């Protein structure tokens, strides 16, 4: 009797990983920009071509999926994706229509923060220098180290707060596990490219805004395509 119940239990476990999509597009004649549809042996499917700077969460929101975990619908629907963030434009992904049955996929662990820079080696000539005969018995106290440069204060009603409200609900310490971090939803590679250390959500609002200004100077407001369009930035 025990052996006969094992297949049923295994089948029940597998079935629990499947679910039916709620929300999302239900009519192919009301799709956002960048979408197309095609007929396949399994029926009609919706295909989206990724634009520069788009992430799964932005794309999911544009198709009507709600919530901070909306990107998981697209992650589950595209098993060819190895990571839940998109590193290059031009690729196409499948958009599950409402009522589609999907199988849940595990999310990979977020990338570790970059290792700290090594301390510079002391100069041997300086370390081995012989003190002069008339040197004082006790060396003078060392001068205090200069304080690290602090990010400039930014008014709380700035355009960066409006952008963060759109990108992350104004949560500067958010990490949803989708490869984007902090109030301005940096990817780890974009954060490192503008000189950021660690991960964005580990830093203050002011530091994230400072790095956001550097990214905006490099890429323009297109680094945040969906929200910059909503805010009329350009």
Q: Identify the pLDDT of residue 99.
A: 85
pLDDT computed for residue 100 by the predictor:
86
Neighbours of 5 (CB within 10 A): 9
- List the pLDDT tens digit at each of the 234 positions of the chain: 434 444 444 444 455 589 988 877 776 565 666 566 544 444 466 888 888 888 898 898 988 899 888 999 999 999 999 888 776 788 889 988 888 899 999 998 877 788 888 888 877 766 555 555 555 567 777 776 555 556 666 666 689 999 999 999 999 999 988 888 999 999 999 999 999 999 999 999 999 999 999 999 998 998 898 898 899 987
pLDDT at residue number 181 = 93
Cα end-to-end distance, the chain, whole Å: 69
Burial class (CB in 10 A: 0-12, 13-18, 19+), 214: middle
pTM, rounded to two decimals? 0.41
Q: What is the pLDDT of residue 118?
A: 86
C-alpha–C-alpha distance, residues 98 and 157, integer Å: 38
Domains in the chain, CATH or no CATH each: 17-103 (3.10.350), 159-231 (1.10.530.10)
Query: What are 143's two structure tokens?
Result: 């001068």
pLDDT at 76: 94
pLDDT at 71: 92
């Amino acid at each position: 009797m025990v052996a006969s119940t094992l297949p049923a239990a295994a089948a029940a476990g597998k079935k629990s990983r499947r679910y039916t999509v709620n929300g999302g597009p239900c009519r192919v004649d009301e799709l956002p920009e960048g979408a197309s549809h095609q007929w396949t042996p399994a029926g009609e499917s919706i295909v989206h071509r990724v634009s520069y700077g788009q992430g799964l969460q932005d794309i999911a929101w544009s198709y009507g999926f709600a919530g901070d975990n909306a990107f998981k619908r697209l992650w589950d629907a595209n098993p060819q994706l190895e990571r839940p963030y998109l590193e290059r434009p031009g690729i196409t992904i499948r958009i599950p229509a409402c009522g589609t049955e999907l199988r849940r996929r595990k999310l990979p662990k977020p990338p570790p923060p970059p290792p700290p820079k090594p301390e510079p080696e002391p100069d041997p000539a300086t370390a081995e220098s012989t003190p002069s005969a008339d040197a004082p018995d006790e060396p003078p106290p060392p001068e205090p180290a200069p304080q690290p440069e602090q990010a400039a204060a930014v008014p709380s009603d700035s355009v960066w707060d409006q952008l963060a409200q759109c990108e992350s609900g104004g949560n500067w310490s958010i990490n949803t596990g989708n490869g984007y971090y902090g109030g301005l939803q940096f990817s780890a590679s974009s954060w490192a490219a503008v000189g950021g250390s660690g991960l964005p959500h580990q830093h203050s609002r002011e530091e994230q805004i400072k790095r956001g200004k550097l990214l905006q100077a490099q890429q323009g407001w297109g680094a945040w395509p969906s929200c910059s369009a909503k805010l009329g930035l350009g």
